Structure 1
Amino acid sequence: MQAVIEVVTQRIIKRSEVSRAKYLLALEDAKTKGVHRSALSCGNLAHGFAACNPDDKSSIKHLNKANIGIVTAFNDMLSAHQPYEDYPTLLKKACQEIGSVAQVAGGVPAMCDGVTQGQPGMELSLLSREVIAMATAVALSHNMFDGALLLGICDKIVPGLMIGALSFGHLPMLFVPAGPMKSGIPNKEKARIRQQFAQGQVDRATLLEAESASYHSAGTCTFYGTANSNQLMLEVMGLQLPGSSFVNPDDPLRLALSQTAAKQVCRLNEMGTQYTPIGHIVSEKSIVNGIVALLATGGSTNLTMHIVAIARAAGIIINWDDFSELSDSVPLLARVYPNGHADINHFHAAGGMALLIKELLDGGLLHEDVQTVAGPGLKRYTQEPKLIEGELRWVDGPTESIDKEVLTSISEPFQVNGGLKLMKGNLGRAVIKVSAVPEANRVVEAPAVVIDDQNKLNALFKAGELNKDCVVVVRGQGPKAVGMPELHKLTPILGSLQDKGFKVALLTDGRMSGASGKVPAAIHLTPEALDGGLIAKVQQGDIIRLDALSGELSLLVDEAELNTRVAEPVNLQPSSYGMGRELFGALRSNLSSPETGARCTQAIDENY
């Protein structure tokens, strides 16, 4: 094991000693109560199986077969979740084939940041994670289930499902992915047309045609944003079957993997032969494995919040220092858009998860001694699934990449670190992803252009007021203020300025897209403006130094001058109503800082 990986892991174990012990005790207490539905009254139980067919009803009634709850994020607006429409039927059938029962326990909402980008609905995005976590808990609260299958893929959906599932950590659970859509137009071409539109060089019809050719069918979007980062994290943490993350929805292998996932969760429950609850799979070591894999592939910055929140739900305490220290020691092995021109299908074809995990294990960068849904040990995940004469089998994965511009080896990394940096200075703490930022653009010292609404930047751009070196400061975007929306709408404008030769950067207490790209962006700044962060005192023209090489993030204004300034108040009125935002005020005002996961889960802190 590489020394830094071990040091960080042991530090997390020590830091989490009390909270993790309390969590595991709670799991043991839940387990010792046996099959929960045995404690239900006759009326309770009758309600629980009233709609089942006679065979399933008999099985549930006599407590001699496992009952698996299905929690689904299906809707047919989201391309990634549309394939889930028929999954409950096929999963139930698979469970019945090995003598178990499955019921749809409940549904959770699933919204798309791609649809809400730049719109008021984006202010509900991060908050939806908490709603999904609570909805998952509600779905599993009936004491009817011996395990669960979790159907979710994108942005906040997977973290929400995880947080909710971990409150039932004594149960075995598997995630069942649906896979990415097939490749559309090249990502480089899509980015080019977006910038041309921002510059007024092409019309909206041309832009829509390009977007439609990119997002063109059922399945997960093919760029390496938060959705595919979630899938990679789940697999490396051992929460879904080996090699199942990036098989297309219409591939016959996808059906076989989904059926096998249903059968496997039946084996993992207490009445099966391999009892493996999700609360034991999610451990300090598996959390570190998830972080390492994300760093090695240039994964989404959104996970710097979500993994913190997921870990905390299991009694494990991590922070951005852990991310940053690991990033300094983990080489970048993948280049998938926006960190390269390839998409996730190209990554899968080049060697995919099996080769990535093999390289990281061989390099001493992953803990092999972990529990997974496929059995003990992560080495199982260096195999890949194949349909051989109609039967699903796992075979040894590739030993080298067939496209080293997409997926490379430990001995020939794209860069020696993971490209995620902790930024620190008088402005506070932030994170920056530089795996897609050219080294020449990683240090920017320039005057501030201060706005409190991302929509104001376009007018400045069109007026030519941004044709200069600048650090665009977008404040009042933090979790408590407006729910921390993504600011991906800024990307084409800032990218255009950079292409013109200007030194530009973004600083915000909001989020950037999981597809953060070539422009240096210090994001998730904490403390946020609403919590007294210095960002609230930044004025137009102040010089800001953003050094992604050293990690410096400084407002170069004399401290005596800063002491005389009054913080600019955050105007909450526009975000307090409309598009349902008025329903989320209590959640929003109670969110924690980004570094602590932007959570609204005080009960977890109190209990674990």
Structure 2
Amino acid sequence: MATHDALIRVTERIRERSATSRADYLRHRRAAAEAGATRHQISCTNLAHAFAASEPDDKDSLRGAQWPNLAIVSAYNDMLSAHQPLERFPELIKQAARKAGAVAQFAGGVPAMCDGVTQGQSGMELSLFSRDVIAMATAVSLSHNVFDGVLCLGVCDKIVPGLLIGALQFGHLPTIFVPGGPMTSGLSNPEKSRIRQLYTEGKVSRAELLDAEMKSYHGPGTCTFYGTANSNQMLMEMMGLHLPGAAFVNPNTPLRDALTAAAAQRCAAITALGDQYIPMHEVIDERAIVNGIVGLLATGGSTNHTIHLVAVAGAAGIVIDWSDFDELSAVVPLLARVYPNGSADVNHFHAAGGMGFLVRELLQAGLVHPDVNTVMGPGLEHYTREPFLKDGELIWRAAPDLSRDTEVLRGTAEPFSRDGGLRLLSGNLGRGVIKVSAVKPEHRKVSAPAVVFDDQNDLLTAFKNGELNRDFVAVVRFQGPRANGMPELHKLTPALGVLQDQGHHVALVTDGRMSGASGKVPAAIHLTPECLGGGPLARVRNGDMIHLDAERGRLDVDVAASDFLQREVAIPELTQNAWGMGRELFASFRAVATGAEQGAVSFGPAPEPTGAPVGVESTVTS
């Protein structure tokens, strides 16, 4: 089928907007490719350092400069269930590389924090900026410049975007992402959510809650709900950086090990030393970024990627914004129902047909660019296949023609929704996003008085004290990148969910984030400009009538514009966000962070000082 007009229109707009920055990026990457790896040129002393600790056979291969040298950059640690399986990967990769006539070296490790552990805690204020640290650590790992290809080992929230941003600075090198896979299914997601709400209401004990959580998060692998981590894995396939079908194969299985070995062998085959050279800068282009956005919309993926994809695109010289997401969302149907947008988990999604089925449906509907480059070669068609083992050998077959479970995965002829469920909100409170794929239609429009909080814990205290048993819009502000690092506010979800279930009309409006597990309560998030950067949300007061209309894409406060602009802004005491848990080390990150719609990045040119909060649209009424 012909490519959809909206896809062509958005892609061309991105290409025109990015012409200068993309040209600069490609010029630098092509110059690096022409220079080649420095081990062909550097002094004997430098070269000896590079492989002093290698096995004798590897030393001989690297000395001769005939075999490609693959860099392993890993986010392994034991704290993340998704990353614990990566402990075994380097040896698997090294053995597979030797069989393919290549050498693999562990080039460096990058930090990887678990948002599941830090959620609602002070450490969460380092989470978003950890992405930029990971990008920098990836660059440091590759800066020795003795490599011909890269294997990035990472799975979770900020880790994959960070690895990708860092690797894009070495876009002349072929790069393949190597996932670990999801843990097997445990306690069902609806039951987990039910027990969380009961605990919030004081109806079950902490011991009962912990027992339920341990049954949910019970072993090695990615958490099975469709949050940011699993959205990352979907994106790596949509953008052609995985082996086909690699995303959702369980860890520590023969098929997972075979895919890991095959990634090393494929990376060896596509270096500049062979005849199939596929540098990363030819894989990640405007079309690949648009395909990633489409995949996010078609699966109801994490709202965090309205930040991360902007930052990733920017690292490749490509400029996107939330209008691009919004326009594509209007034409991309929702094809998956995975928690929190349904009751199933990613194992059910994979069993129903998974990424191969999804990609083929989108291709046949003309909703993705088919003619992209990938690590498998030209064409997204490669990703309509799924891997399996036949007599111990890894091979690929066509994904199933029909979904094996239409309650979890559907084709474009009968989608769960005709649009992607991600909306741009604009109005006199700035620009933000809302994910409505998990929000029932009757909750997508809320008009209610504001109840203002400058700390998420104050909202929870008010809830516990019975002060919120009414219709209201919770305004949780000064939660942006420059204020406190933009932590996720996911621990507010159970309390707001209880109030909504009791029949109250409630919503959340914030310049902070929710999470990949954003659920049934309407949440206008990522408000830009943020309050500390001059955002009008800083002027909202208790009792102001706020109108959130997700269907029309509007977010407004009902106050006369002249009165609103004259209000003084009281900036809360933020020093408590500047120390403890290592936050002291991130002061410079907070000082220069761009807005959420600009990717919330802490590198590159510093933003201009904003001073007082900016003005608002004249559409406010008295």
Distance 2:329 2:89 in 1: 37
- Helix, strand or coil: the match of 2:336? coil
Q: CA deviation at 1:601?
A: 2.1
Structure 1 counterpart of 2:108, from 106, 109, 129: 106
Q: Which residue of 1 aligns with 2:138?
A: 136
- Helix, strand or coil: the match of 1:169? coil
Q: Deviations over 1:52-97 (max 9, x none)?
A: 0111011111111100000000001110000000111110110011
Q: Which residue of 2 aligns with 1:249?
A: 251
Q: Deviations over 1:441-496 (max 9, x none)?
A: 00000011111111111221122111111100100100001000000010000000
**Residue identity in the other structure for 1:428:** G
Q: What RMSD in Å do the two structures reach over aligned CA positions?
A: 1.0
Q: CA deviation at 1:122?
A: 0.1
Q: Which residue of 1 aligns with 2:523?
A: 521
Contact 1:48 1:144 in 2 (8 A): yes
Q: Could you tell which deviates more after superposition, 486-495 or 11-20?
A: 11-20
Q: Which residue of 2 aligns with 1:273?
A: 275
Q: Deviations over 1:512-554 (max 9, x none)?
A: 0111000000000011110111111111111100000001100
Q: Which residue of 1 aligns with 2:355?
A: 353
Contact 2:240 2:283 in 1 (8 A): yes
Distance 1:464 1:66 in 2: 65
- The answer to whether the aligner puts 1:600 opposite 2:602 as a matched pair is yes
Q: Which residue of 1 aligns with 2:191?
A: 189
Distance 1:196 1:433 in 2: 25
Q: Deviations over 1:396-429 (max 9, x none)?
A: 1111101101001101011110000000000000
Contact 1:530 1:570 in 2 (8 A): no
- The answer to whether the aligner puts 1:490 opposite 2:492 as a matched pair is yes
Matches within 5 A, 1:555-594: 555-594=557-596
Q: Deviations over 1:169-214 (max 9, x none)?
A: 0000100001000000110000000000001111100110110000
- Helix, strand or coil: the match of 2:241? coil
Matches within 5 A, 1:142-157: 142-157=144-159
Q: Which residue of 2 aligns with 1:312?
A: 314
Q: CA deviation at 1:604?
A: 11
Q: CA deviation at 1:603?
A: 6.0
Structure 1 counterpart of 2:76, from 62, 74, 78: 74
Q: Which residue of 1 aligns with 2:440?
A: 438
Structure 2 counterpart of 1:240, from 239, 242, 247: 242
**Residue identity in the other structure for 1:539:** R
Distance 1:242 1:564 in 2: 56
Q: CA deviation at 1:285?
A: 0.3
Structure 2 segments unaligned to the other structure (5+ residues) = 608-622
Q: Which residue of 1 aligns with 2:14?
A: 12
Contact 1:82 1:219 in 2 (8 A): yes
Q: Which residue of 2 aligns with 1:38?
A: 40
Q: CA deviation at 1:153?
A: 0.5
Matches within 5 A, 1:153-172: 153-172=155-174
**Residue identity in the other structure for 1:504:** V
Q: Which residue of 1 aligns with 2:401?
A: 399
**Residue identity in the other structure for 1:441:** H
Q: CA deviation at 1:40?
A: 1.4
Contact 1:481 1:570 in 2 (8 A): no
Distance 1:122 1:365 in 2: 36
**Residue identity in the other structure for 1:551:** G
Distance 1:124 1:2 in 2: 40
Q: CA deviation at 1:570?
A: 3.4
Q: Which residue of 2 aligns with 1:122?
A: 124
**Residue identity in the other structure for 2:373:** Q
Q: CA deviation at 1:273?
A: 2.4
Distance 1:22 1:458 in 2: 48
Distance 2:61 2:553 in 1: 59
Q: Could you tell which deviates more after superposition, 14-23 or 478-487?
A: 14-23
**Residue identity in the other structure for 1:427:** L
Distance 2:606 2:33 in 1: 19
**Residue identity in the other structure for 2:230:** N
- Helix, strand or coil: the match of 1:539? coil
**Residue identity in the other structure for 2:498:** S
Q: CA deviation at 1:375?
A: 1.2
Structure 1 counterpart of 2:411, from 409, 412, 420: 409
Distance 1:35 1:79 in 2: 35
Distance 2:268 2:120 in 1: 43
Q: CA deviation at 1:251?
A: 2.1
Matches within 5 A, 1:502-521: 502-521=504-523
Structure 1 segments unaligned to the other structure (5+ residues) = none
Q: Which residue of 1 aligns with 2:616?
A: none
Q: CA deviation at 1:280?
A: 1.0
- Helix, strand or coil: the match of 1:602? coil
Distance 2:606 2:281 in 1: 14
Matches within 5 A, 1:327-476: 327-476=329-478
**Residue identity in the other structure for 2:469:** N
**Residue identity in the other structure for 1:414:** F
Contact 1:313 1:604 in 2 (8 A): no
**Residue identity in the other structure for 2:310:** V
Q: Which residue of 2 aligns with 1:286?
A: 288
Distance 1:61 1:469 in 2: 71
Distance 2:415 2:495 in 1: 31
Aligned pair count reads 605
TM-score by structure 2 length? 0.96
Distance 2:590 2:540 in 1: 24
TM-score by structure 1 length? 0.99
Structure 2 counterpart of 1:546, from 512, 534, 548: 548
Distance 1:586 1:313 in 2: 20
- Helix, strand or coil: the match of 2:518? coil
**Residue identity in the other structure for 1:439:** P
Q: Could you tell which deviates more after superposition, 213-222 or 11-20?
A: 11-20
Q: Deviations over 1:135-155 (max 9, x none)?
A: 000000001100110000000
Q: CA deviation at 1:232?
A: 0.0
- The structure 1 segments of at least 4 consecutive aligned residues displaced by more than 3 Å after TM superposition are none
Contact 1:529 1:570 in 2 (8 A): no
- Helix, strand or coil: the match of 2:72? strand
Change (3 A) 1:604 1:490: closer
Q: Could you tell which deviates more after superposition, 28-37 or 589-598?
A: 28-37
Contact 2:592 2:606 in 1 (8 A): no
**Residue identity in the other structure for 2:42:** L
Distance 1:159 1:560 in 2: 42
Distance 2:500 2:352 in 1: 31
Contact 2:593 2:606 in 1 (8 A): no
Contact 1:276 1:373 in 2 (8 A): yes
Contact 2:302 2:517 in 1 (8 A): yes
